[in-house]
């Protein structure tokens, strides 16, 4: 268990949420906010998949915070080998059920207490950077650097900043976005409630592509990032020095 209470609570949240997580991704149950939103979400997921198809992340791939495996499945289309790391054994069990083959190795670990056993051709993380607290951001990118083989590629995607989503999303998204605004604790935290009724405080730092690129460039990465039509941010980075 991480001694940083912010990290520990976030780990606990995703462990408890394991069985509910895919309903968010598939826009089922309470996440189904209507056909217009559902169609726009699907289109944006297809845009992310097309991006990955262009990049073709082959070779020895490390997936950080791999979760229930919706992106492990995508990576498996290109990678020779995947190491999927996550702090929740519960989500990795679901991931294994979808993607478990001898090409995928599962590692239960808190990323802030984990060192890569080797260097990888590709380091991938989806819907993770928004959960890295500002005071662990530097440490996280040092882990990415330590995990990457010379000439290797970093790939990431996450939720788009709500300003982008509201501007470019379907009308019914604005209702959801308005609800989400109510759960602010402060700039970096949000409250989340599970079906059991338990509540957790998690980190949610939405990045804008330009800010993220500028931040990574300062850390010695050559980076590019952009948005899908409304829902997602995605990008790539390579080591400059």
Ligand X SMILES: C[S@@+](CC[C@H](N)C(=O)[O-])C[C@H]1O[C@@H](n2cnc3c(N)ncnc32)[C@H](O)[C@@H]1O
Contact footprint for ligand X (CB under 6 A): 7, 10-11, 14, 65-68, 70-71, 86-88, 91, 110-112, 126-128, 131
Across 159-181, b (16+ Cβ under 10 Å) vs e yields bbbbebbbebbbeebeebeeeee
Under 8 Å CB-to-CB from 220, ≥6 apart: which residues? 239, 240, 241
Bridge partners, residue 126, by sequence? 157
If the CB atoms of residues 127 and 207 are measured against ligand X, the closer one turns out to be 127
Burial class (CB within 10 angstroms; exposed 0-12, middle 13-18, buried 19+) of 120: buried
If the CB atoms of residues 65 and 122 are measured against ligand X, the closer one turns out to be 65
- Closest contact distance (angstroms) between CB of 223 and ligand X is 19
If the CB atoms of residues 139 and 217 are measured against ligand X, the closer one turns out to be 139
Q: φ and ψ at 4, to 5 degrees?
A: -80, 115
- Closest contact distance (angstroms) between CB of 96 and ligand X is 13
- Closest contact distance (angstroms) between CB of 87 and ligand X is 4
- Closest contact distance (angstroms) between CB of 158 and ligand X is 8
DSSP conformational letter for 32: -
If the CB atoms of residues 199 and 222 are measured against ligand X, the closer one turns out to be 199
Element (H, E) at 180: helix 171-181
Candidates 81, 91, 80; CA nearest to 13 is: 91
- Closest contact distance (angstroms) between CB of 171 and ligand X is 26
Under 8 Å CB-to-CB from 230, ≥6 apart: which residues? 40, 44, 160, 164, 165, 167, 168, 169, 170, 173
List C-alpha distances in Å: 202 to 64, 70, 115, 183: 18, 21, 24, 11
If the CB atoms of residues 135 and 217 are measured against ligand X, the closer one turns out to be 135
Give the count of alpha carbons within 13 A of 175, CB side only: 9
If the CB atoms of residues 183 and 240 are measured against ligand X, the closer one turns out to be 183
- Closest contact distance (angstroms) between CB of 109 and ligand X is 6
If the CB atoms of residues 138 and 217 are measured against ligand X, the closer one turns out to be 138
- Closest contact distance (angstroms) between CB of 18 and ligand X is 8
Closest-CB residue for ligand X?
Answer: 67
């Amino acid at each position: 268990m991480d001694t940083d209470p912010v990290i520990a609570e976030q780990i606990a949240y995703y462990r408890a949420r394991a069985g509910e997580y895919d309903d968010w991704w598939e826009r089922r149950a309470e996440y189904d906010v209507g056909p217009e939103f559902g169609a726009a979400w699907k289109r944006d997921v297809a845009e992310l998949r097309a991006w990955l198809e262009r990049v073709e992340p082959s070779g020895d791939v490390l997936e950080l915070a791999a979760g229930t495996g919706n992106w492990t499945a995508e990576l498996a289309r290109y990678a020779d080998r995947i190491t999927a790391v996550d702090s929740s054994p519960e989500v990795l069990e679901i991931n294994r059920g979808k993607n478990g083959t001898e090409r995928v190795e599962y590692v239960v670990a808190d990323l802030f207490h984990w060192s890569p056993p080797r260097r990888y051709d590709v380091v991938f993380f989806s819907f993770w950077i928004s959960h890295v607290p500002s005071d662990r951001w530097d440490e996280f990118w040092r882990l990415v650097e330590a995990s990457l083989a010379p000439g290797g590629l970093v790939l990431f995607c996450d939720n788009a900043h709500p300003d982008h989503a509201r501007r470019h999303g379907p009308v019914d998204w604005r209702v959801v976005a308005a609800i989400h605004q109510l759960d602010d604790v402060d700039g970096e935290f949000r409250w989340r409630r599970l079906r059991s009724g338990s509540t957790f405080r998690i980190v949610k730092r939405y990045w804008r592509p330009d800010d993220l690129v500028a931040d990574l460039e300062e850390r010695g990465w050559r980076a590019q990032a952009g948005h899908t039509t409304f829902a997602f941010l995605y990008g790539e980075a390579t080591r400059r020095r």
